[in-house]
Amino acid sequence: MKAKIKYDVVPNLPDNLEILRRIAHNLCFSWNDDIQDIFQRMDPRLWGTCKHNPVLMLGLISQERLNELAHDQGFMAQLERVAGDFERYLSQPRVQRGEYCGEEPFQVAYFSAEFGLTECLPIYSGGLGILAGDHLKSASDLNIPLVAVGLLYQEGYFSQYLTADGWQMETYPHNDFSNMPVRPVRRTDGQPVRITVMIKEVPVAVQVWQIMVGRIALYMLDTNIEPNPPDLRHITAQLYGGDKEMRLQQEIILGIGGVRALKALGIEPTVIHMNEGHSAFSALERINILRQEKGLTFDAAREVVTASTIFTTHTPVPAGNDTFHPDLIRAYFEEYVKNLGINFKVLLGYGRLDPRDDNEPFGMTTLALRLSAHSNGVSRLHGKVSRSMWQKVWVHHPVEDVPIDHITNGIHVPTWISREMGALFSRYLGPDWAEDPDHERVWHQIDEIPGTELWRTHERCREHLVGYVRACLVEQLKRRGASTAEIIRAGEVLSPEALTIGFARRFATYKRATLLFRDPDRLARLLNDSGRPVQVILAGKAHPQDNEGKELIKHIIHLSHEERFRRSVVFLEDYNMDVTFHLVSGADLWLNTPRRPLEACGTSGMKALANGSLNLSTLDGWWDEAYQRDCGWALGHGEVYQNHEIQDNIESMDLYNLLENEIVPLFYQRGMDGMPRGWVEKMRTGLRTLVPIYNSHRMVQEYLNRYYLPCSRRFNILCRDSFERARDLASWRQKIMTGWAEVAVEEVIAADGLEIPVGEKLEVKARIRLGSLAPEDVTVEAYYGRLGPEGEFAERETTALKMVDNLDGIYVFQGAIPCNKSGRFGYTVRIMPSLERLENRFALGLVTWA
């Protein structure tokens, strides 16, 4: 039996407590300890039971307790202070939005399939979502004009539990949005805002919800509403759930529906940032709207959209990028493309590495790359890997010129540091350290913190971690029906004083979670040294269909049950933000063992770093560029092996040697006061030199300065005067595309084998044929650099050449190459479409080489 009429019962808050409702519906509580203290004080036990969900807590706390608090002078004084700080944060930002863009329109829309924001909103699976959540939090702190768009999953990602034999099982808890910090967006007449998206020519109603992340609005799309048939209501049921077709439907809702939702809300973005390729259809919908409403051709609309779109790729392996069979795309887009003004085969070409290959599947990453002004990986090494992966999109360019740059990820430090470390930073870095955009100056004040205070603070965090792990382990055993004796023994695992190694991540096989356990006998000797004990805490989920990953978990569980490991190796179930927070805040050493170069970034090590932990990691992801001997350790020297068995043997031996000979001795090398000074200096160095770089404030500011502001300016220029510049650019592009076959380097006028003294310049001259194109349509460059042993460019730079003569249609271009270093160098000449006209100099994929 189902109810005919539905209604919500909301807490009846006394007038002087009404501000709690507003505070509870803003995720500031997820990184503000003072706000958490308010709810903790209201009912400590209930706060824990609610998994730190203030909206649910307000619905469960007794009316008697609310009335009591309303007359509690101490509580009301604390609430008044916290509410004042909260309102000041929202209304008095340190940076005004006008400082970013002046009078011109500037609005960023950030699209992502998942957002990891807080424990009580389980709509994320891992690093991609956590990164997206931290991006929004820093955008809020920096007051960047940004909104975000995602999907509101009824079941989210799975919860993990283990059988007695250690095998991972999955459950999908139901999200009750009425008891979460999310609200439906309503029109002025009180009705919910809904938009419609066609799924195989069937109209699907999509409801829009809002989550406030400080100053940032996150709009979430939901198909689980009554007008839709059951199969279409399930589109937003599970994150990454279902088959290929379900994934395509989700990405249509996110991309096309997301753009329509912003339009329905009256939000006009000047920049779209696609976090991974899941939202690539947003570019098509923006083109569609410009065609239908502004009368632009597909080409002119594409110029506007491409110039104002940014794409971030996170996946360093081809299998991690969504692709769909052409027939599946046809079923969903054959009618849609008619509105775009192109035929279906042209659409398929945008999603293929080789547009002429009719058998190639349609790739979302390829579509995003072709329709973005800027594309980037999430670490320096990942940018390099991505350029190799996607070179076929720009087949005429050498791999080093592929236009995929990198902006290394960062973390939102206030979210991820312990309460104790946050208080320490507030004392010595200033009360506003978390919002200060001048992070380098702020973090250099770490030297003001006395070593003893830094160490004692970290020791308290380790003690809290041990207590947390024991409590979690007891609960795990109770759920499995363990014996009383087993439960009692669980309360004795770990030591508050022992060197604690943390490892927590997705249990994909390339992350090699069992590398530390490759020689159990040697590990047992290391962990059980009575004078220098070591302990290991692990957590992580394998994908529900990844049996190899599940086997790794099972192997660790079996080892942890052996008597020699029972007290020193613990695996925590259901890896989530709360587990991560406790692990990174209390571990002494953060271990990361991916197989290079398969880790895109790996931000968990940054979270540990900000808490004073030291990193021991393969030179992969962020650690490849961050590693310094005076603040951590590296496994290997950046080698890439063809034989994985040999690699694992070598690097596991390296891991044991580092632990036995360097790490453990340094941790236990204590002074008379019991402080390991060498260890503490490494902690201090990491905080001072790395945290200012590997945080999301720096990351978001980099996106702002390199991508958001230039793209927004370009968008505004193209939209002026009824899109005159966009139409002109489309015509020019057509001229370039049809005339490029006539472009050639007729001759490079130079002698080979010259010797040029350091400090002088080498004159470069080339004769260029342009056919129907004019000199202003192209950029001619000398492409030069140091040569490798085979005559290839080991490094390269470019310098523009100027047109100096016209000899009956053959143009002479001339310039000079600086010779500042000695060695073996070379150069060639290339012609590209005019750089002055394009936001992305490689957008047309055209180049002619000498």
Q: What is the pLDDT of residues 125-154, one digit of tens each?
A: 989 999 999 999 999 999 999 999 999 999
The DSSP code sequence of 658-715 is HIIIIIHHHHT---TTS--HHHHHHHHHHHHHTTTTSBHHHHHHHHIIIIIHHHHHHH
Q: Specify the pLDDT at position 8.
A: 65
What pLDDT digit, counting tens, does each position of 498-515 carry? 999 999 999 999 999 999
What pLDDT digit, counting tens, does each position of 164-191 carry? 899 999 999 899 999 999 999 999 999 9
Report, as an integer, the average pLDDT of 783-806: 92
Report, as an integer, the average pLDDT of 443-451: 93
User: What is the rounded distance in angstroms from the CA atom of residue 249 to the CA atom of residue 206?
Assistant: 12
Long-range contacts of 394-397 (CB under 8 A, 24+ apart): 394/842, 394/845, 395/845, 396/845, 396/846, 396/847, 397/842, 397/845, 397/847
Percent of the chain's residues with pLDDT above 90: 86
With contact defined as beta carbons under 8 Å apart, do 680 and 546 qualify?
no
What pLDDT digit, counting tens, does each position of 817-845 carry? 999 999 999 999 999 999 888 878 788 88
| Residue 285 CA to its chain's centroid (Å) | 24
Torsion of CA 836, 840, 845, 847, to 10 degrees: 40
**Confidence tier at 440 by pLDDT (50, 70, 90):** confident
Q: Specify the pLDDT at position 839.
A: 77
Report, as an integer, the average pLDDT of 273-302: 97
Report, as an integer, the average pLDDT of 809-817: 94
Q: Specify the pLDDT at position 100.
A: 80
Q: Specify the pLDDT at position 79.
A: 97
What pLDDT digit, counting tens, does each position of 190-213 carry? 999 999 999 998 999 999 999 999
**What is the arrangement of strands in the sheet containing 534-539, beginning at the earlier edge strand?**
569-572, 534-539, 499-504, 589-592, 614-618, 632-635
Q: Residue 168: in which H helix or E strand, if any?
A: strand 168-171
Mean pLDDT computed over every residue of the chain: 94
- The residues that bridge with 171 in the sheet, in sequence order, are 159
CA within 13 Å, CB half, 88: 9
**Confidence tier at 442 by pLDDT (50, 70, 90):** confident
Nearest residue to 425 via CA among 691, 626, 680, 628: 691
The DSSP code sequence of 219-264 is EEEE--STTS-HHHHGGGSBTT-S-HHHHHHHHHIIIIIHHHHHHH
Report, as an integer, the average pLDDT of 766-783: 95
**Confidence tier at 24 by pLDDT (50, 70, 90):** very high
Task: Output 6 or 650, whichever has higher pLDDT.
Answer: 650
Q: Specify the pLDDT at position 96.
A: 81
- H and E: helices and strands count for the chain: 33, 28
User: What is the rounded distance in angstroms from the CA atom of residue 542 to the CA atom of residue 577?
Assistant: 16
What pLDDT digit, counting tens, does each position of 727-765 carry? 999 999 999 999 999 999 999 987 666 788 998 999 999
The DSSP code sequence of 610-657 is HTTPEEEEES-TTHHHH--GGGEEEESSS---S-HHHHHHHHHHHHHH
Task: Output 236 or 789, whichever has higher pLDDT.
Answer: 236
Q: Specify the pLDDT at position 14.
A: 93
**Confidence tier at 454 by pLDDT (50, 70, 90):** very high
**Confidence tier at 450 by pLDDT (50, 70, 90):** very high
**Confidence tier at 431 by pLDDT (50, 70, 90):** confident
Q: Specify the pLDDT at position 406.
A: 98
What pLDDT digit, counting tens, does each position of 529-586 carry? 999 999 999 999 999 999 999 999 999 999 999 999 999 999 999 999 999 999 999 9
Instruction: Determine the residue type at 300.
Output: A
Report, as an integer, the average pLDDT of 354-365: 96
Report angle CA 463, 469, 470 to the nearest 5 degrees: 90
Report angle CA 828, 829, 833 to the nearest 5 degrees: 145
Percent of the chain's residues with pLDDT above 70: 98
**Confidence tier at 10 by pLDDT (50, 70, 90):** low
| Three-state DSSP state, 458 | helix
pTM summary value: 0.96
Answer yes or no: is pLDDT of 678 > 80. Answer: yes
**Confidence tier at 609 by pLDDT (50, 70, 90):** very high
| Tokens linked to 473 | 């382990």
Answer yes or no: is pLDDT of 250 > 80. Answer: yes
Answer yes or no: is pLDDT of 723 > 80. Answer: yes
**Confidence tier at 627 by pLDDT (50, 70, 90):** very high
Q: Specify the pLDDT at position 439.
A: 73
- Alpha helices, H only, 94-212: 98-101, 127-141
Answer yes or no: is pLDDT of 778 > 80. Answer: yes
Q: Specify the pLDDT at position 317.
A: 82
Torsion of CA 184, 82, 582, 445, to 10 degrees: 120
**Confidence tier at 324 by pLDDT (50, 70, 90):** very high
Torsion of CA 302, 306, 308, 309, to 10 degrees: 130
Answer yes or no: is pLDDT of 437 > 70. Answer: no
Q: Specify the pLDDT at position 320.
A: 82
Q: Please give the sequence-ordered ranges of beta strands (E in DSSP) within 728-777, or none if there are none.
A: 744-748, 761-769
Q: Specify the pLDDT at position 80.
A: 97
Report, as an integer, the average pLDDT of 776-798: 92
Q: Specify the pLDDT at position 1.
A: 66
User: What is the rounded distance in angstroms from the CA atom of residue 409 to the CA atom of residue 622?
Assistant: 8
Q: Residue 214: in which H helix or E strand, if any?
A: none
Q: Specify the pLDDT at position 530.
A: 93
Report, as an integer, the average pLDDT of 456-467: 98
**Confidence tier at 589 by pLDDT (50, 70, 90):** very high
